[in-house]
Chain A
Amino acid sequence: MRTPNRLVAALTAATMLASNLAAVPALAQQRTEVGAASVVIGDVEFREQQEARARQLERRDRIAWGNYIASASNSQAQILLLDRSTFSIGERTRLRIDEVVYDPAEGRSAVVSVLRGALRFFSGSNEGNNTADVNAPAARIGIRGTAIDILAGEVAQQVGEDEPFIENMRNVDSDEDEATLVVLRGPGAQTAGGLTVGLAEVTSAGVTVVLDEPGLAAYVPRAGVPPIGPFRISDPGLVQIQNEIQPRVARAGGGGGGGILGALIPIAVGAVALGVLLSDDDDDNDNSTATTDDGNDNCYYEEGQRVCPGSDIR
């Protein structure tokens, strides 16, 4: 008596499985677009999940689930998600967009994987329940309402092991492919604008370290070991991170008198007044003539001549 029922159940299950399998190719072709490339500088490759061949990422390119993005040296990009959150991708970075779900009424959830390099995340809309998870080689980072920097791989090892806190420890054995460094940048408790105070949870080997103040960091030297921290990132460490995420700013100079800024002295100095830029502090708006410092393009003035170098802005 029970055998026929079992047979019917097995047939039903097989039919459902077959119909599901038949639906897979259609689903695989469906592209869930969750954002767009908002700036692309230099060589940044982009690959769809189902494609073997990569192509140059261009500004306004749509970003979808499963997309891979890889930047070369002295290159960078920013991905703007529908809720206006952003992922800034530094040089020599590889990133995969695993899943992003956004509902203006409910909030946003995002899962991305950083395989190597430097990543900065800025949370967008302050409304709804917004969460994001970043899978790094040696840790999983859960973030909320946050500005956060994440380094993965060799660059994380370089910056992490130079940190005085890590240097003072014994027997830190880092893996150059797996090392992960996480730095919370804000917002802190004293934030303006009523922003959600940032928080990041760095989990590895079943241990979670919570970062809840700007400047706090956690370092995971390799997969399978607990995070080290929290500790306060050093100023030189922050400079290195900034240089990885904004390589063109680092190369433009400003700290050593060289680079593009060096050629801009005649129009840069005195052309900008911070008090004017900060118009919400309009205590000194009326006594300045400052307006623009850099014009509308990538040109600059050198010895009185307007120079427009070949741009690699995509």
Chain B
Amino acid sequence: MRIFHIAACLPVIMMLSTPAAAQSLAELDRLSDLTANADTGVAAAQEQAERGAYLEALSTLERVMAAYPESVSARLLHAVYLCRIDDRQGGLVEISQMDEDLFGEANITDARDRCSRPYVEPQAPAPAPAPAASPDPEPIETLSLPPSTAAEGEVSGKEPPTPTAPAASASGTNAISGSNAISDSTPSRSSSSSSTQQPEDTDGGEKD
């Protein structure tokens, strides 16, 4: 099985190693060819995510999900990658749509856990020490991971953590935060200090 997975990744690695500047319609075809197969599509998305190209990875996964809506891998990754781009609400909503019987309780708990805390970029692996200087080096996995992720694999039996996403509630008046820069034909790009808009205060100009 592991061999199969590596074999599935090989064409992905070869195709995606093309320089980014070499964009062409033929290259777009190669990208879409990858997602004509669920395994190579998921592998391509993983490779894109490892490069930090999360929006590309999400697009890739959506192609896989369109063709293979039964792909558990694609749907789990899609939800987690949404959280990685800071759309935690969207990721948690997708996770909430997953049936534990189908996706596995541990997977759902793991995905929810990953979405509920900030993602810490893995550090580049440290250069391999010279054998004489370090006869018993620490495993790379431990070196490259922050302490908070060291126990992520131990998710079975864990209570799902309370999501800290901006809005995971399904009812009630929605809280408004962030921008509310309303101007007359002059879009404002600085909106972090915007005011809160209440439904009662604004009717959007609607008059009947």
Contacts and interface: CB of A to CB of B under 8 A. Distances in A.
Interface of A: 33, 35-39, 41, 59-60, 62, 76, 78, 80, 82-84, 86, 88, 102, 104, 120, 122-127, 142, 147, 163-166, 168-173, 185-195, 199, 201, 203, 205-216, 219, 221, 225-236, 238-239, 242, 246, 248-249, 251-257, 260-262, 264-265, 268-275, 277-287, 289, 291-296, 298, 300, 313
The main secondary structure of chain B at its interface with chain A is loop
B151 to A, nearest CB: 8
Interface in B33-87: 35-39, 42, 46, 49-56, 58-59, 62-63, 65-73, 75-77, 80, 82, 84-87
Nearest to A296: B37
A232 B152 contact: no
A238 B89 contact: yes
Contacts of B82: 185-186
A270 B77 CA distance: 16
B31 to A, nearest CB: 6
A278 B50 CA distance: 9
B153 A275 contact: yes
Contacts of B63: 38-39, 78
Interface of B: 1-2, 4-5, 8, 20-21, 23-25, 28-29, 31-32, 35-39, 42, 46, 49-56, 58-59, 62-63, 65-73, 75-77, 80, 82, 84-90, 93-94, 96-99, 101-104, 106-107, 110-111, 114, 118-119, 121-122, 141, 144-145, 149-153, 166-189, 191-192, 194, 197, 199-200, 202-208
A60 B90 CA distance: 30
A252 B65 CA distance: 10
Contact of A172 (B24, B145, B203): B203
Contacts of A205: 205
A272 B168 CA distance: 26
A206 B104 CA distance: 50
B174 A199 contact: no
B37 to A, nearest CB: 5
Nearest to B69: A252
Contacts of A261: 70, 72, 99, 102
Contacts, number: 389
A119 B118 CA distance: 28
Nearest to A249: B69
B187 A215 contact: no
A211 B194 CA distance: 11
B56 A232 contact: no
B185 to A, nearest CB: 5
Contacts of B167: 215, 232-235
Contacts of B145: 281-283
B159 to A, nearest CB: 17
A256 B98 CA distance: 9
B149 A186 contact: no
B55 A195 contact: yes
Nearest to B46: A279
A289 B1 contact: yes
B59 A86 contact: yes
B107 to A, nearest CB: 5
Contacts of A226: 182, 204-205
Given A213-B178, A248-B69, 14 more contacts: A193-B52, A208-B187, A210-B180, A210-B188, A213-B166, A215-B89, A230-B179, A234-B169, A249-B75, A255-B98, A273-B107, A283-B153, A286-B141, A296-B39
Contacts of A265: 101-102
A231 B42 contact: no
Contact of B114 (A35, A278, A282): A278
B197 A278 contact: no
Contact of B103 (A260, A262, A269): A269
Nearest to B39: A292
A147 B70 contact: no
B208 A171 contact: yes
18 contacts: A126-B53, A169-B199, A188-B85, A190-B86, A193-B85, A203-B187, A208-B182, A208-B188, A210-B194, A225-B205, A255-B97, A265-B102, A271-B72, A280-B50, A282-B122, A292-B8, A294-B73, A313-B67
Contacts of A203: 185, 187
A234 B99 contact: no
Contact of B69 (A192, A213, A239, A246): A246
